[in-house]
Structures are given as C-alpha cells and as structure tokens.
Amino acid sequence: CGTGVNMGPSVASKMLQRWLNVFNQKGTLYPDMDVDGRIGPRTINALRAYLSKRGGDGELVMLTALNCTQGELYLELAEKREANQSFVYGWLKQRVIV
C-alpha cells in the first residue's frame, strides 16, 4: 500500500486507525482510538492486538481493507477532477495491490 508516499503519512495513518476501530469487535479486543493520523502507542498496541487475534489472515484482510480505502480515494479524485480520469486506471494498477 503506497498510500503514505502518494497521499502522505497522515492519510495512510488515518486509514489504518479507522480500520482498526471497526475491527476491534466493539472494543473487546482493544479500545477505539482517535483517528488523528498520528501513529502512537495506542495505534501500535491496537495493531499488535489485532494481529495477535487474527494472525496471517488478519494481515491479508487488513491489507485488503487498506487497499479498498485507497481505491476509494483515487475514485473520489477522478470524480472531482476530470483530468484525473486519465490516471485512475494506472493508479489502481500500480498502487493498489489486489
């Protein structure tokens, strides 16, 4: 997921935090966190707890979730600015791993 490079680390961090919040089984695995775009102890601890619970499948599911969100952002960019429609196919092909 090249989101950190293409859209900035804050965007990538917010994506991860959002997904961790919805994967926490209503707060039973780890508490919800603020989606602030800063990777700190809460985000790291949540990711560790998530991976501990979900294992290798969890890694794949998280990567898929992050790629879905990145693809949605590229779609929004192309919808908002017609000139980006020329790039959206390549963005998905080169930057969103499936």
Q: What is the pLDDT of residue 91?
A: 85
Q: What is the pLDDT of residue 95?
A: 79
Which of 29, 65, 31 has the alpha carbon at shortest distance from 49? 29
The domain ranges of the chain are 3-95
Which of 11, 70, 16 has the alpha carbon at shortest distance from 48? 16
> Binning pLDDT at 50, 70 and 90, where does residue 93 land?
confident
Instruction: Measure the CA–CA gap between 53 and 58, rounded to whole angstroms.
Output: 8
Q: Mean pLDDT of all residues in the chain?
A: 91
Which of 2, 36, 3 has the alpha carbon at shortest distance from 21? 36
> Tokens 């775009």 map to which residue?
37
> What is the rounded average pLDDT of the residues 57-65?
95
> What is the rounded average pLDDT of the residues 59-76?
93
Share of the chain above pLDDT 70, in %: 96
